[in-house]
Amino acid sequence: MEQLDPLVAEARRFGYVEDSAVWLRPVLGQPARRIGLVKETEEAALRYFAQRYASFQAKVEELLRAMATAENRGSFLMKALHLKELTVRYDALGDFETLHRRLGEAEADIQQSVARNREKNLATKVSLIQEAEALRDTVEWVTASEKVKDLRQGWLKTGPVDKELTDELETRFQTAVQVFFDRRKAFQADKKAMGNRALNRYKELIRQAEELQNSEQFETASRQLKALQQAWREVGGSLPRKQAGELWTRFRAANNHFFERLKQHLATARPENDAAPGPGATPEQVLARKRALAEQAEALLAVPPQEAISRAKVLQAEWKKGGTVRGEESDRLWQRFMVACDKVFELSALDYYLRKRTGQPLPTAPAELAQTKITALREFLKQDRQELETLQANFDNLSPTPANEAFRQLLQTKIRGFERKVRTKTDLIELFRPQI
């Protein structure tokens, strides 16, 4: 007995031949459907359409295997739907009902996976939006810019959410990001404008200083340059380190040039009207002399420390011989003179300490030298404040009795001395700070 071809036998289960045509039996709610013609023999035609089914079934099996190991199963949805649709109209002979059911199960599984992924994507996108919106008040522009970059990358890598939420979420995220970039742009514009204002102000102060550097009106020019130095410290703004250093070098050079000339002027000659007033001098003459001594003491801040301290001692001796006059201006001149001398002595002590401590020449770079001096002054200031606190505590604990009066006066003198030290060092720190 001739053995029946398995493919032909399988084909006859799902189809038949009638009137030289191949028919698919009713399946999936569809009536019998003619799927082709018999070109040679019935067996050949049935085998051909059975082979077409086997080829179609292989595609379905390949899809199902890929889905089983895939992380993103949602990417297979459209292909599964397409194959499922083909089971109703594909021209072949086979068990389309089983394939349709399996593809339907795969579709449901994908839909469930997609729903879970979209819930997870929704949570991720909401978190990204909240992080972006939290940056609306930050001023840490560098780190925040990197954060925004990471958030945008995270947003692009996060899969879709339900369509009805897509536009709303996209708008919230993009708005939060844009708010940050708008604020950063405004800050940068303000910073640039501030930098331009500071640059123009520094240039103007340099221009004025350079106009004064060769002045023969030493008293007036000295006072004006001191005012320019104070104005320089008050400019503020933020410029690139190199540019700020170049501007400071020009400004300092003009000041150094003038005060070097002033030093030579003081060393070589003293105008007649600058001589110490005699016993019969008028109050105006005494004040004029004290005013000149105060200006000379202030000018010593631009003189090398060791030379300045010698000159300051001379000025102190001349001040004592200058006569006495009462009044607010006299008190103000005394304060000016005393503060200037205190600064000279503190700078001399600072210079000695730095050279003795390191045994090396001081740094030549302005910013480095200023930082070195500020660091040392802060350490001295800390010690002075501790000593001042101890003296004040001792004074407060000492009862105001006649027996203690002499000791209380001694403590008060020491307290005032340390208060001057603290004030002087604080002023010097502020003097050096703009040079950093």
Give the chain's mean pLDDT.
84
**Does residue 426 register a pLDDT over 80?**
yes
Least-confidence region, from 16-30, 107-121, 355-369, 379-393: 355-369
Residue matched to tokens 């001191």 = 226
For 258-277, the pLDDT digits (tens) are 888 887 877 664 444 445 55
pLDDT score, position 14: 94
For 205-245, the pLDDT digits (tens) are 889 988 888 888 877 888 888 888 888 888 766 778 888 88
**Does residue 202 register a pLDDT over 50?**
yes
**Does residue 430 register a pLDDT over 60?**
yes
For residues 317 and 4, the model is more confident at: 317
How many Å apart are CA 196 and CA 303, to the nearest integer? Answer: 33
The confidence band for 280, taking pLDDT boundaries of 50, 70 and 90, is low
Sign of CA dihedral 284, 285, 291, 294: negative
Q: What's the DSSP call for residue 137? A: G
346 and 425 in contact (C-beta within 8 Å)?
yes
Q: What's the DSSP call for residue 30? A: B
Helix axes 42-69, 77-89, angle to 10 degrees: 160
**pLDDT, mean of residues 362-374:** 78
**Does residue 83 register a pLDDT over 90?**
yes
How many Å apart are CA 302 and CA 260, to the nearest integer? Answer: 8
**pLDDT, mean of residues 136-162:** 85
**pLDDT, mean of residues 299-309:** 80
**Does residue 42 register a pLDDT over 80?**
yes
How do the domains of the chain map onto residue ranges?
6-119, 120-185, 270-362, 363-436
The confidence band for 3, taking pLDDT boundaries of 50, 70 and 90, is low
* Of 141, 365, 328, nearest in space to 245 by CA: 365
SS in 3 state form for 291-343? HHHHHHHHHHHHCCHHHHHHHHHHHHHHHHCCCCCCCHHHHHHHHHHHHHHHH
**Does residue 362 register a pLDDT over 80?**
no
CA 36 to chain centre: 75
State which of 225-229, 279-283, 374-378, 431-435 shows the largest mean pLDDT: 374-378
pTM of the model: 0.41
The confidence band for 178, taking pLDDT boundaries of 50, 70 and 90, is confident
How many Å apart are CA 2 and CA 45, to the nearest integer? Answer: 19
User: Could you give the percent of the chain with pLDDT greater than 70?
Assistant: 92
pLDDT score, position 269: 46
The confidence band for 364, taking pLDDT boundaries of 50, 70 and 90, is low
How many Å apart are CA 53 and CA 50, to the nearest integer? Answer: 5
How many Å apart are CA 227 and CA 281, to the nearest integer? Answer: 31
pLDDT score, position 103: 92
15 and 22 in contact (C-beta within 8 Å)?
yes
Q: What's the DSSP call for residue 278? A: -
Least-confidence region, from 36-50, 90-104, 268-282: 268-282
pLDDT score, position 277: 58
